[in-house]
């Protein structure tokens, strides 16, 4: 990266947020455990790590299982593993016999085959004289070859063009209210109100540096599911923040107010009435607002979000070419058909809702959700795009988000966090903000 200025304001987008038996299970020569190596005297400590920093391999995955036996007793037993698909189907398993002498460290090499391109879960179990444990890991095999088995609706683009036309007919009636009680010496805070699709009132927070006669780049932060985004502060004098609470969330519940678990299925029986259609248009309306502000740089708009915010980010970048950069962390609704029966969210809420609606079926719901699947937005994204995934994510499997990534036709980069679930690493937050500074020339 070019020289950049450290960015101290952090957007708080909360997150709800792996054909053969074992080829090598041979212990290396054991070595004496030093005091520094042992975390505690008289304990058995274990760890397992992929040999690749991202746990991504061309063929077989390679792991090193370490057993630190700081007791005086020989530990005798087995280390075993079970390989499953991201949907939980058992694929393979194996075990080896081990003996770790007292006061030594044993290291065991495992080579585990995946079943073609994709991501896999592997559970390592150790059962020895005085210790039992299970460690959950994941790995990928040639993820750049992952493809969806499901087609995009033929009228996908037409559907969204009609939706944007419908939004354009709604007068935004922007209102900007200065909030001195929330402002600081370095930041002015404004509450923003606007009318969106269906004449629904939504609200956002705008914070700007108290620097006169200056134009600011913009970060538009989009929310995770049922997360209320507050005003965001920071010391960066080049950047204004907008945190949008889409309909039904935070301070945007005036016209859409559902119980917590029911928002995601609000009017899901109709693609024209589904709440996500309106949420995505709320984001487009926020871009409209940016273009009304003379102090904001209209060619330096960075949109970001995680989980549902990741979905909203990629949908907004796909539908609105005014977005200059976007960053999506573990976006939900990615190739949803491939895992809809295996993931708890949103299938539990969907099935509960279907039972209350005569004639409504899961297939009908899925036909509607195809218009909100991130993979179907991805090919139309033109701006530079950053993504992140956690290999232990149980809300949206990494293979699904990689399907989206492979469909992107723009300048793109993905960061893989092998030991994270549905969450975002602070390293990613730092990287994406430094990336924005570099791309926008903010030094």
- Contact present, 340 and 366 (Cβ < 8 Å): yes
**Phi, psi angle pair for 372, to nearest 5°:** -125, 10
CB 41 within 8 A of CB 115: no
CATH superfamily for 31-145 is: Immunoglobulins (2.60.40.10)
Whole-number Å distance between alpha carbons of 280 and 275: 9
Q: Is the peptide bond before 346 cis (omega within 30 degrees of 0)?
A: yes
Q: At how many degrees (to 10) do helices 275-290 and 308-319 cross?
A: 60
User: Is residue 103 within 8 Å of residue 75, measured between CB atoms?
Assistant: no
- Please tell me the distance from the alpha carbon of residue 420 to that of residue 18, in angstroms, as a whole number: 12
Neighbours of 108 (CB within 10 A): 22
Mean pLDDT, 10 residues at a time, the chain of 443 residues: 38 29 32 45 91 96 97 96 92 97 96 93 96 97 96 98 98 98 97 98 98 96 96 93 98 93 94 98 98 98 97 98 98 93 86 92 96 98 98 93 97 96 92 96 89
First CA to last CA distance, the chain: 12
- Supply the DSSP symbol for 41: T
Q: Which residues have C-beta within 8 Å of that of residue 117, sequence separation ≥ 6? A: 141, 142, 143, 144, 145, 146
Residue range(s) occupied by CATH 2.60.40.10 in the chain = 31-145
Which part of the chain has CATH 3.40.50.1820? 156-440
Predicted confidence at residue 78, as pLDDT, reads 98
Q: Between the CA of residue 46 and those of 67, 247, 253, 301, what are the distances in Å? A: 5, 47, 49, 46
pTM over 0.75: yes
Q: Which residues lie below 8 Å from residue 125, measured CB to CB, with a gap of 6+?
A: 78, 79, 80, 81, 82, 132, 133, 134, 135
What pLDDT sits at residue 20?
A: 23
CB 226 within 8 A of CB 264: no
Find all residues with CB under 8 Å of 133, minimum gap 6, and list them. 46, 125, 126
Burial 368-398 (b: 16+ CB within 10 A, else e): bbbbbbbbbbbebbebbbbbbbbbbbebbbb
Helix (DSSP H) and strand (DSSP E) numbers for the chain? 8, 18
**Contacts with 259 (C-beta within 8 Å, 6 or more apart), sequence order:** none
- Look at the domain 156-440 and name its fold: Rossmann fold (3.40.50)
pLDDT of residue 41: 61
Task: Give the pair of three-digit tokens for residue 205.
Answer: 């927070």
* Nearest C-alpha neighbor of 324 from the set 302, 346, 352: 302
Q: Which residues contact 442 (CB under 8 A, 6 or more apart)?
A: 4, 5, 217, 236, 238, 239, 436
């Amino acid at each position: 990266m070019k020289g950049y200025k450290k960015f101290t304001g952090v957007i708080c987008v909360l997150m709800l947020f792996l054909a053969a038996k074992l080829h090598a299970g041979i212990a290396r020569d054991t070595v004496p455990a030093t005091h520094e190596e042992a975390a505690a005297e008289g304990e058995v400590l274990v760890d397992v790590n992929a040999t690749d920093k991202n746990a991504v391999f061309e063929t077989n995955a390679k792991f090193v299982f370490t057993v630190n036996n700081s007791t005086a007793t020989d530990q005798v037993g087995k280390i075993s593993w079970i390989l499953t698909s991201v949907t939980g189907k058992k694929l393979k398993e194996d075990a080896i016999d081990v003996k770790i002498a007292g006061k030594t460290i044993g290291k065991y090499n495992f080579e585990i085959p995946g079943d073609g391109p994709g991501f896999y879960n592997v559970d390592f179990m150790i059962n020895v004289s005085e210790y039992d444990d299970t460690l959950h890991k994941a790995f990928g095999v040639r993820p750049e070859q992952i493809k969806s088995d499901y087609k995009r609706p033929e009228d996908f683009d037409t559907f969204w063009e009609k939706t944007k036309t419908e939004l354009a007919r709604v007068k935004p009636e922007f209102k900007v209210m200065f909030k001195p009680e929330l402002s600081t010496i370095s930041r002015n805070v404004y509450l923003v109100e606007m009318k969106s699709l269906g004449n629904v009132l939504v609200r956002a927070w705008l914070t700007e540096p108290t620097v006169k006669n200056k134009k600011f780049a913009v970060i538009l932060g989009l929310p995770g599911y049922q997360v209320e985004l507050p005003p965001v502060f920071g010391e960066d004098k080049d950047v204004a923040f907008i945190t949008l609470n889409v309909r039904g969330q935070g301070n945007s519940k005036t016209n859409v107010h559902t119980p917590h678990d029911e928002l995601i299925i609000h009017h899901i029986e109709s693609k024209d009435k589904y709440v996500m259609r309106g949420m995505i248009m709320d984001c487009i309306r926020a871009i409209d607002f940016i273009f009304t502000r003379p102090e904001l740089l209209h060619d330096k708009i960075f949109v970001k979000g995680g989980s549902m915010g990741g979905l909203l980010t990629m949908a907004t970048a796909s539908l609105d070419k005014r977005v200059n950069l976007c960053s999506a962390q573990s976006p939900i609704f990615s190739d949803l058909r491939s895992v809809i029966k295996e993931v708890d969210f949103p299938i539990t809420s969907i099935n509960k809702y279907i039972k209350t609606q005569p004639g409504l079926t899961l297939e009908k719901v899925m036909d509607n959700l195809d218009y909100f699947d991130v993979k179907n937005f991805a090919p139309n994204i033109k701006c530079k795009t950053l993504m992140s995934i956690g290999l232990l994510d149980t809300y949206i499997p990494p293979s699904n988000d990689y399907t989206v990534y492979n469909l992107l036709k723009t300048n793109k980069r993905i960061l893989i966090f092998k030991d994270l679930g549905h969450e975002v690493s602070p390293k990613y937050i730092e990287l994406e903000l430094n990336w924005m500074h570099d791309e926008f020339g903010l030094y």
